[in-house]
Amino acid sequence: MSRYLYNIFFLKLNKPLLILVLISFSEFNLDQSVVKKRGGHTINAKLPSKREELMVLGKTFDIQFPPPYFKLCGKHAKYFKAEATVCIRHKAPLKVKTWKEIPEDDLTIMWKHMEVSITLLM
């Protein structure tokens, strides 16, 4: 069922209160509800194709943590960052505020996940 939305514009002139009313009709549908799309699960879709490409070429991932700051760098650092995001969102407990509160077992599971996902052995 559609209804009409009325837009009214008033034009006031300097002469003695002459008012011009313009009405425009635009169709407005009130029955449709707006559903917000969700993003879904976090995945690293580009990592498998990159892994296959490197396996064919006989190369490895170029990921480095050079001192003194041990900041992630290298040609394939973006793949490592994306996989780390996937790992943390799927495997890290939600009710902790710092990394120190995460149990050692969970940290081991996350580290194993990262080792398996970045190595070229399948």
Residue 79 in any domain: the answer is yes
> Is residue 10 situated within a structural domain?
no
- Average pLDDT over the chain reads 76
Q: What's the token pair of residue 54?
A: 């490197």
- Show Cβ contacts of residue 99 under 8 Å, excluding neighbours closer than 6 positions: none
Residue pLDDT, tens place only, 36-83 = 777 777 888 888 888 889 989 988 888 888 898 888 899 999 998 999
Would 54 be classed as within a structural domain?
yes
The per-residue pLDDT for 42 is 81
Beta pairing partners, 5 = 26
Residues 93-101, mean pLDDT to the nearest whole number: 90
Please give the model's pTM, rounded to 2 decimal places.
0.59
* Residue 31: band (very low, low, confident or very high) from pLDDT cuts 50, 70, 90: low
Which residue segment(s) compose the domain that 109 sits in? Answer: 46-118
The reply to whether 88 falls in a domain is yes
Q: Is residue 40 part of a domain?
A: no
- Does residue 80 belong to any structural domain of this protein? yes
Interatomic CA distance for residues 2 and 13, integer angstroms: 35
Share of the chain above pLDDT 70, in %: 70
Nearest C-alpha neighbor of 84 from the set 111, 105, 45: 111
Provide the number of structural domains found in the chain.
1
